[in-house]
Amino acid sequence: MSKPKILVARAIFPEVIAKLAQHFDVVSNQADEIWTPAELIAQLQGKQGVFTTGGERIDAAVLTACPDLKICANMAVGYNNFDLAAMTAAGVLATNAPDVLTETTADFGFALLMATARRMTEAEHFLRAGKWTKWSYDMFAGSDIHGTTLGILGMGRIGQGIAQRGAHGFDMNVIYHNRSRLDAATEAQCQARYVSKEELLKSADHLVLVLPYSASAHHAIGAAELAQMKPTATLVNIARGGIVDDAALAVALRNKVIAGAGLDVFEGEPQLHPDLLSVPNVVLTPHIASATLSTRLAMANLAADNLIEFLTQNKAITPLNPEVLVKR
Ligand code: 8YV
């Protein structure tokens, strides 16, 4: 019997390709070319499954053009590259890669918060440029992390991981806002207090964004929200580009409306708003919050295992639209 055909849309670990090849006839983009939507559609012809990494858009147009497609497995917890309603309507299973990246991503959120509050990259640039000729009392003086108020917008698994680090590791007063309030036991474990978004903006010394992207989260932080924050506050975005209005943030940073920002995700990435590159009080990283080798391997294996389970047994480990399984 011939094996099902799948496409791996970006370069991934060779051992994961090898595992997939035990079950499937695999076409993989190990050259890591960035395909246009039309090229992706051409590559998907005759494929029953696709391994995506988060940047490949799967919408009604793709689904109509690729009638053999049955499953899209994302190697990311976020899945705003999927039109989930269109996939469900077409009977195509969507899976993501949650849990395996939670602690690694929370570690990175905290690292970005610390680098921002303590102005680490700004100070390093100064040093590398040969500008360090003498010590001065206020040189790169930043703001404290321990004992301050940590605000978290979006309190899913990663948000809770950041709350735990702040409360237990840095004795922070943790406040959060989320679509729905956590149960009392989880709040107690995170030592986190639920507040309105307004209260969060007004009271946080450090605000970390960890909410999923959706149309309603677009520009959740814009000029009006930044104006409500403390002038000493720092903002960290490890969620998704588009949640922050990057143009408004660059203006706010330049005018010292807030003290600093740490950004791992950007509107229109890998392009950045040019003004973000010219303001000094921002720490910039290229969407690497989940990037440790062991975590990226775990994410890739989870996406691969979803493809294997589904196409060989009609099951899935982390389905986003499990109703598709029931209907089959
Ligand atoms: C991915 C992420 O590496 O899981 C997510 O949602 O943002 C990252 O961990 C990224 O999506 C790759 O495009």
pLDDT, averaged per 10 consecutive residues of the chain (328 residues), comes to: 94 98 98 97 98 97 98 98 98 98 98 98 97 96 98 98 98 97 97 98 98 96 98 98 98 98 97 97 98 98 98 97 86
Cα–Cα distance for residue pair 193/211, rounded to 1 Å: 17
Burial 271-294 (b: 16+ CB within 10 A, else e): ebbeebeebebbbebebebbebee
Cα distance between residue 11 and residue 29, in whole Å? 5
What's the CA gap between 180 and 60, in Å, rounded?
Answer: 30
Q: Are the C-beta atoms of 270 and 286 separated by less than 8 Å?
A: yes
Give yes or no for residue 101 CB within 6 A of ligand 1.
yes
H or E element: which one contains 309?
helix 293-313
CB distance 160 to ligand 1 below 6 Å:
no
Q: Is 290 in the pocket of ligand 1 (CB under 6 A)?
A: yes
Amino acid at 327: K
* CATH 3.40.50.720 domain range(s) in the chain: 5-100+293-327, 102-284
Question: Of 287, 292, 302, 318, which is best to mutate to test ligand 1, by the most ligand atoms within 8 angstroms of its C-beta?
Answer: 287
For residue 95, which of 328, 320, 324, 322 has the smallest C-alpha distance?
Answer: 320
240 catalytic, yes or no? Answer: yes
- Report the CATH number of the 102-284 domain: 3.40.50.720
Q: What is the pLDDT of residue 220?
A: 98
Q: In the CATH hierarchy, which top-level class contains the domain 5-100+293-327? A: alpha beta
Task: Check if 300 has its Cβ closer than 6 Å to any atom of ligand 1.
Answer: no
Q: Which residues pair with 290 in a beta bridge?
A: none
Q: What is the pLDDT of residue 283?
A: 98
DSSP labels for 15-50?
HHHHHHHTTSEEEE-TT-----HHHHHHHHTT-SEE
What's the whole-model pTM score?
Answer: 0.96
CA 134 to ligand 1 centroid distance, Å: 42
- CA–CA gap between residue 235 and residue 5 (Å, rounded): 44
Q: Return the amino acid letter for 145.
A: I
Contact 78, 56 (CB under 8 A): no
* Closest among 238, 240, 235 to 250, alpha carbons compared: 235
Handedness of CA 316, 321, 326, 328 (dihedral sign): negative
Give the per-residue pLDDT at 328: 65
